[in-house]
Amino acid sequence: MAEVIWGLATSHVPSIGAAMDRGKTDDPNWKALFDGYAPARAWLAEHQPDVAIVVYNDHANGIDLDFVPTFGLGTAERYEVADEGFGRRPVPDVIGHPELSLHLVESLIDEEFDLTVFQELAVDHGFTVPLSVWTPDPGDAWPCPVIPLLVNVIQYPQPTAARCYALGQALGRAIRSYPEDITVGVLGTGGMSHQLAGARAGFINPDFDHMWMETIETDPGQLAAMSREELIRKAGSEGIELIMWLVMRGAMDDRVTKVHSDYFVPASNTAAGIALFDNRNGQPA
């Protein structure tokens, strides 16, 4: 059967990708952030999965705001990198894994998650920046096929933290039921605390972020119990993206081993975090 071997939680701030694309990773404003990625990148380079799943949100680049599914999953053979208005990032297009995608669609729908299925999809920075955090120099291709799993964090009402955690648990069961012996890495993206508009524009909450990074490892159910309103109050209107970390964590075992974590403020006007977990020594949730 298939196995989730690791989970990676990371912010997907677009300026992180821009700093990489423009050779600014050693700039004094950015060096500490990228130095914080180094231990995770070194470990990941030695533990390449056969397939990766990226849990992310589109930013009105691959999906029109007139149609925003609560949850969606890509089944394509290839995903083009979106042009977000200033040219596409100089990174490879993404090769999919239609066989595993279709298995996940069937399994998740059978568990009463009514997914929108994307046979064509352009992926934006919410997807490509986490791939770059993982693999800064992909060359002509990313390390393995990648499947996009979309979550609505843009339009109210977003799915609850509890629903996202439950989706992750169902995702883990779906992966383990896949008949081929393959390894899978799951990336949960977004966050950390930030708010881009309104009276609290610029809001960042380091105390909350540190609590979240600790608790996502040890007691994700506590985080899943937070209401939508509490999460926005404590993490900011865009900080609700952290619900996508819960999808990743739900797909893993109850007990995981933290490999590395780091926290940086500010990346642009966002708190940026990374947390990497080894899933090979626990028990299925």
Catalytic residues: 125, 194
Distance, in Å, from the CA atom of 213 to the CA atom of 12, rounded to the nearest integer, reads 16
Reference 92, options 50, 42, 132, 119; nearest CA is 132
Reference 263, options 41, 31, 33; nearest CA is 33
Tokens 């999906």 belong to which residue? 63
Tokens 């508009």 belong to which residue? 197
* The dihedral formed by the CA atoms of 3, 97, 9 and 220, expressed in degrees to the nearest 10: -50
Question: What type of residue sits at position 87?
Answer: G
Cα radius of gyration rounded to whole Å, the chain: 17
Q: Measured in whole angstroms, how far is the alpha carbon of residue 261 from the centre of its chain?
A: 15
Reference 87, options 189, 142, 17, 34; nearest CA is 17
**Residue 46 β-bridge partners:** none
Distance, in Å, from the CA atom of 149 to the CA atom of 116, rounded to the nearest integer, reads 10
